[in-house]
Structures are given as C-alpha cells and as structure tokens.
C-alpha cells in the first residue's frame, strides 16, 4: 500500500498524525511538499515594476525561490521526525493542486488537510487548492481537520420550505 | 523608449536606449536646448539624492540591518502569523519610508519570506504585504520613492513640510491596507505550525547603521530649516556608511559605484528629458483638459484617480513626469495628490503597470504561476480604499497645516 501525505505550512502536523493513525504498518509512506511558484512570482513582479533599475541579478524572486527550496526540506525533515517511521520525502514545484494530483497517481491513499475557513463545518472549509485535489484525486482521499473540527452547531439550519 | 525600458532586450540596462533617445530629442528640436538644460538642472539634485539613498540602503544591508530585521520579526511573532503580519507592516513601512521602496522590494522581501518559512507560517500574506507596502508606504518622505523626489523638486515644499503634509495620508493608507489584508488572508493567517525549534540567531543590533540613518533623518529636518538641499545630507549619510565599509574591507570603490546604480541615474535623467519633449509637443494640451482644476476635495480625488489610472497604464515613473508640469501650477496640494495616485495605484496591476504586464505575457515571463485573479482582487479592495482615505487625509492636512 502506498500512502501520500500532502504537507502544507501551518497544517502539516494533522496530516502526519492521520498517517500515523490510519496507514497500516507495512505501507509505503510518501511525505509530499509542493513549492508554489506564486510567492517567488510576487517578488519577481514587484521587481519588474521598478522601471529602469536594470541589473537582473538583483531580482529578489530568484532568492525567494532558493529559500523556498531549503524551507521545504526543513518542513519535510520535521514531518519525518514526527512520523517516526520509514518514509520517502518528495519535493515538487509548480502549480500546487495539479502537482498533488499527479503525485497521487497510482497511490492507494491521499492524505490532506482542509485549508479554507475552518471556523465552521461546510464546503468553505476547503480552499481552492484542496478543493481541486479532492475533486480530481485518482485515489481514495483522507481529508483531515488541522485543528479540532468545529461543532455541528456551525451548520446553518435547513432552508425553510412552506 | 518606454517599450524598450519594459522589454529590455537581452537584459541591457534601460539607459542604453534612453540616453540616445534623449540626445535625439534634443538634436531634432523636439525639445529646445533651454528646456532640456532646465530639465537636467531640475533633475540633477534629484538624481544625486537618489544615488545617495541607494548607497545608504545598500550599506545598511552590508551592516546587517535586514538580517537583524528578520531575527526581530521572528522573535516578536514567535510563529503567530497575525503578529508576523503586524511586524512586517511596521518594518516594511519604516524601511520604505526611510530607505526607499527599492530597499523593501530587493532587500526586505527575501528576509520576510525566510522568516515566515522558518517559523512555520505561510509566507504568502507577508510577501504580498511587502509588495503592497513598497508602494503604499512610500508616501511619507521625499526619499521614499523616486516619484516623490521628482515631485518634491517640482512642488517647492521644504523637506519637513512635505513630510508633515504626507504623515496622515501615509498612516491612514497603511491602516487601510492592514484592514484589507487581515480580512483577505484570514484563512492563511489562521494556520500555524512551527517547523523545528530554531528561534533564529540572537539579533545583533546594527547600531552603526541605525545611528547613521537616524542622524541622516535628523539632518534632513535641520538642513531644510536652514535652506540647505537635503540631498547633501543624504550624501553625507551614504559616505559615512560606505566609508566605514571601505575601511573595514567589506566594500571596494567599484561596489560603492555599483550600489549607486549609475545606469539607473542616467535613465532617470534621459527619461525626464524625453517626457518633457512629449509633454511640450502636445501631451500637455491633451491632458490639460482631463486634469481637474483647483485643490478642493473633489479635485484632489480626481487628480489622484487620474494619476493612479495613468500609473497602471504606463508605470508610475513616466506618469509622474507627465502629470507634474500639469499640476505644479495649482500648488503643492495637487502635486501631492498626484503622488498618492502614482504611489498607491500600482498595487492594482501585477508588475506595476499594464505595459510591463503585457510584455511579460508576450515573452512568457508570466509563467511564474502568480494567480493574477487573486492579485487583482486584492488590488481592487486595497487600492480604492487606501487611496480614498489617503486623499481625504491629505485634504484635511492641507486645511490644518
């Protein structure tokens, strides 16, 4: 059995704990981190807006890209330590949601955390990236709450039909 | 020429084309020699001022100021995303105001990203904050933005009066951005999980850099009281920091010259002359009908909106050069309204203007994966709100001061 855990800054411990709780002992565990292009792109864009500055080597976006690589490695190391069993660490970069789906091809389980509004139960608790991964995953999905799940009272009452 | 500056074939400095074009404009009589000389004389001190500020920021980095900023933010925020956002707002606003927007974009942004990543915080809101504040927080001082330096020279205001009039607009614009950011990124700011136990190295205080910058700021106030060009004060501050780096062997004469970005300075001079030629040859008449007259609140709002639109079309540097000669006769209020527009406005468009964005699309540099819809949605919330409150604050300051 092959289990993919998609780890994101801020919510990854819940995914690691879910793997510990639900993946069978012999399963091959892959800890996946996808580095987005969005944040370096912001820095590239801000620099491009500085008209006349020349010197492309000063573009802060390149430095942000390199820093992103090393911080991803640190996150995966921390996650592997928390997991406490053999695992494979996989770093990808690109369009996050699509890379996740591609990585889940041929897997037996994809573990991911809700990344939207986590103050109430409901569809908005999935942000765009997690929504895409859940909707397109080519394998079974285990979707976890990063913190304790909100109570049932957060569901709005059913619409009133006269 | 503007197209060349945006396109920059094979990474050539923009000045490579801008300087010959300026020469051509003079040679063909598109701008009279007198006007060209007047423009160069007007821009000379601006360019000197700019060089000094660039050197100052560079050697603040050499002294470790920005690394120290990262360590302070990490310690104060302690892995809490909202606190980190507040710290980023405070530091980015201060650094943009004092050391110019270039310092925030080039030097502070990577530090902010590294700090967020190291403390287990999602970096997107904080990096967005750097890019927005490099524009919005560049209202306060003439040194904060090249657009301000140009307007400062044209407005006839003293350094202290400029800062006094812009203080309230600066504060309320940053406040509006903060409110928008807290709401827009509420879900990203709710996620925190520390990675590792690395609290970051103990922050060493780069006291020499801080004292030099503080003295330079105080010098601006004193110099303006005595009618001395503040550019001299900036030059003195830059010389002190660069001199120390030279003595300590942490810089060579060529690195000091590179820090002053001579190609950029030449570009600014040439752009000024070319834009003057364009304005002289008909643009003044065309835009003269569009620029609202007077300095009442509706006129200021109109001027700021026009400036913001123009900045989003062709980048804020040419926009301010075009609008200054048209608004300067109406007095400092109109000039400062132009600045609010051209400084805050660029947050609406990725890469600062449609001209730049269009070109990046053509050469597929947009494949950075930036979600342009998200960028624009944030801009549509942040720009009108911060620009609106800033113009009202400017109008209020003009009434009181």
pLDDT for A125: 92
User: Which residues in chain A have their CB less than 8 angstroms from residue B356's CB?
Assistant: 48-49, 51
User: What band does B288 get if pLDDT is binned at 50, 70 and 90?
Assistant: confident
Region at B203 (left for phi over 0; alpha for psi -120 to 50; beta for the rest): beta
Averaged pLDDT, B79-83? 91
Residue among B118, B191, B261 whose CB faces A10 most closely: B191
pLDDT at residue B173 is higher than 60: yes
- Mean of the pLDDT values across residues B260-281? 84
B122 contacts in A (CB within 8 Å)?
Answer: 8-10
In contact, B141 and B97? CB cutoff 8 Å: yes
Using the beta-carbon criterion (under 8 Å), do B124 and A38 form an inter-chain contact? yes
Cβ A29 vs Cβ A5: under 8 Å: yes
Distance from CA of B106 to the nearest CA of A (A): 5
Interface with chain B: mutation pick from A8, A10, A80, A122, highest number of B CBs within 10 Å: A10
Q: B387 in the Ramachandran plot: left (φ > 0), alpha (ψ -120 to 50) or beta? A: alpha
Q: How far is B395 from chain A (nearest CA, A)?
A: 28
B9 pLDDT higher than 50: no
Q: What is the pLDDT of residue B271?
A: 84
Which strand ranges, in their side-by-side order, compose the sheet holding A88-93? A88-93, A28-35, A2-6, A109-113, A141-144
Task: Name residue A88's beta-bridge partners.
Answer: A30
Reported as type and span, the H/E element at residue B3 is helix B2-7
Q: A132 CB contacts (<8 Å, ≥6 apart)?
A: A97, A98, A101
The pLDDT score that the predictor gives to residue A6 is 97
B222–chain A nearest CA distance, Å: 31
Q: Is the pLDDT of residue B341 over 90?
A: yes
- Mean pLDDT, to the nearest integer, of B373-390? 95
From CA B124, how far away is CA B225, in angstroms rounded? 43
Which of B194, B357, B369, B382 would you mutate first to test chain A, the one with the most A CBs within 10 A?
B369
Residues of B in contact with A63 (CB under 8 A): 110
How far is B42 from B46, CA to CA, in rounded Å? 7
In chain B, pLDDT over 70 holds for what percent of residues? 93
pLDDT of residue B42: 81
Alpha-carbon Rg of chain B, whole angstroms? 21
Residue ranges of domains in chain A = 2-154
| Residue numbers in A near B268 (CB within 8 A) | 52
Do A60 and B106 make contact, defined as CB atoms within 8 angstroms? yes
Range ranked top by mean pLDDT from A130-139, B38-47, B192-201? A130-139
Contacts of A36 in chain B (CB under 8 A): 369
Looking at the structure, give the CATH architecture of the domain made up of residues A2-154: 3-Layer(aba) Sandwich (3.40)
Residue B332: name the closest of B139, B108, B152 by CA. Answer: B152
A10:B114 CB<8 A: no
A60 contacts in B (CB within 8 Å)?
A: 105-107, 109-110
Question: Which residue from B107, B193, B315 is facing A10, i.e. has the nearest CB?
Answer: B193
Distance from CA of A60 to the nearest CA of B (A): 5
User: In terms of pLDDT, which residue wins out, B4 or B14?
Assistant: B14
Q: How many angstroms away from the CA of B330 is the closest CA of chain A? A: 28
What tens digit of pLDDT does each residue of A53-87 get? Answer: 766 667 888 888 888 888 889 899 999 999 999 99
Mutate to test the interface with B, among A17, A37, A54 (most CBs of B within 10 A): A54
Per-range mean pLDDT, top range of A33-42, B155-164, B188-197, B384-393: B384-393
Q: What is the mean pLDDT of residues B266-275?
A: 85
In chain A, which residue's Cα lies nearest the Cα of B271? A52
Query: Is B109 in Cβ contact with A60 (below 8 Å)?
Result: yes
* Structure token digits, residue B15: 């000045």
Give per-residue pLDDT as tens, B211-257. Answer: 999 999 999 989 888 888 888 999 999 999 999 999 998 888 888 88
Contact yes or no for A29/A86 (Cβ under 8 A): yes
Residues B108-146 pLDDT 10s: 999 999 999 888 889 999 999 999 999 999 999 999 999
Minimal Cβ distance to A46: which of B14, B131, B264: B131
Confidence of residue A157 (pLDDT cuts 50, 70, 90): confident
Orientation of helix B146-155 relative to helix B332-344, angle to 10°? 170
Query: Are B368 and A40 a contacting pair at CB < 8 A?
Result: yes
Q: Is A52 in Cβ contact with B113 (below 8 Å)?
A: no
Q: Say if the Cβ atoms of B14 and A51 lie within 8 Å.
A: yes
Q: Cα separation of A2 and A16, whole Å?
A: 15
pLDDT at B126: 96
pLDDT of residue B113: 93
Half-sphere exposure (Cβ direction) of A135: Cα atoms closer than 13 Å:
10
Q: Answer yes or no: is pLDDT of B304 > 90.
A: yes
Backbone angles phi, psi at B209, to 5 degrees: -65, -45
Cα–Cα–Cα angle for A39, A43, A48, rounded to 5 degrees: 140
């Amino acid at each position: 059995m092959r289990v993919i855990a998609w780890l994101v800054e801020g919510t990854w411990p819940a995914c690691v704990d879910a793997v510990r709780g639900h993946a069978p002992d012999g399963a091959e565990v892959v800890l996946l981190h996808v580095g987005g292009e969005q944040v370096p792109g912001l820095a590239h864009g801000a620099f491009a807006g500085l008209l006349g500055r020349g010197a492309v080597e000063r573009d802060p976006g390149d430095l942000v890209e390199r820093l992103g690589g090393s911080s991803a490695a640190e996150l995966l190391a921390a996650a592997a330590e928390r997991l406490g069993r053999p695992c494979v660490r996989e770093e990808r970069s690109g369009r996050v949601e699509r890379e996740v789906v591609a990585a889940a091809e041929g897997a037996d389980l994809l573990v991911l955390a809700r990344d939207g509004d986590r103050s109430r139960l409901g569809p908005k608790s999935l942000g765009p990236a997690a929504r895409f991964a859940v909707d397109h995953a080519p394998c079974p999905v285990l979707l976890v709450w990063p913190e304790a799940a909100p109570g049932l009272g957060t569901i709005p009452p059913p619409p009133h039909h006269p | 020429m503007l197209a060349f500056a945006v396109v920059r074939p094979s990474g050539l400095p923009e000045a490579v084309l801008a300087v010959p074009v300026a020469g051509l404009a003079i040679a063909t009589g598109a701008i009279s020699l007198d006007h060209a000389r007047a423009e160069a004389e007007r821009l000379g001190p601006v360019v000197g001022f700019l060089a000094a500020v660039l050197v100052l920021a560079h050697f603040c980095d050499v002294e470790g100021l920005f690394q120290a900023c990262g360590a302070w933010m990490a310690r104060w925020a302690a892995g809490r995303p909202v606190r980190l956002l507040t710290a980023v707002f405070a530091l980015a606003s201060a650094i943009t105001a004092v050391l110019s927007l270039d310092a925030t974009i080039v030097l502070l942004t990577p530090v902010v990203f590294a700090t967020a990543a190291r403390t287990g915080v999602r970096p997107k809101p904080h990096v967005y904050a750097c890019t927005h504040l490099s524009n919005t927080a560049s209202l306060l001082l003439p040194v904060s933005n090249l657009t301000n330096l140009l307007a400062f020279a044209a407005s006839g205001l003293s350094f202290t009066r400029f800062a006094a009039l812009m203080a309230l607009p600066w504060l309320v614009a940053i406040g509006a951005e903060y409110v928008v950011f807290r709401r827009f990124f509420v879900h990203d700011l709710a996620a925190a999980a520390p990675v590792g136990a690395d609290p970051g190295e103990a922050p060493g205080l780069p006291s020499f850099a801080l004292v030099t910058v503080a003295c330079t700021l105080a010098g601006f106030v004193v110099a303006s009281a005595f009618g001395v060009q503040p550019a001299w004060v900036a030059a003195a501050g830059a010389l002190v920091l660069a001199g120390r780096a030279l003595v300590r062997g942490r810089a060579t004469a060529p690195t000091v010259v590179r820090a002053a970005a001579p190609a950029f300075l030449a570009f600014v001079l040439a752009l000024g002359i070319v834009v003057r030629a364009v304005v002289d040859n008909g643009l003044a008449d065309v835009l003269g009908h569009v620029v609202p007259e007077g300095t009442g609140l509706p006129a200021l709002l109109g001027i700021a909106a026009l400036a913001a639109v123009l900045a989003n079309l062709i980048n804020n540097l040419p926009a301010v050069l075009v609008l200054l000669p048209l608004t300067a006769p109406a007095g400092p209020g109109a000039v400062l309204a132009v600045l609010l527009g051209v400084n805050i406005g660029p947050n609406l468009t990725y890469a600062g203007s449609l001209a730049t964005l269009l070109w990046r699309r053509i050469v597929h540099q947009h494949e950075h994966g930036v979600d342009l819809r998200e960028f624009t949605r944030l801009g549509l919330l942040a720009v009108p709100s911060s620009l609106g409150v800033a113009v009202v604050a400017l109008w209020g300051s003009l009434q009181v001061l």
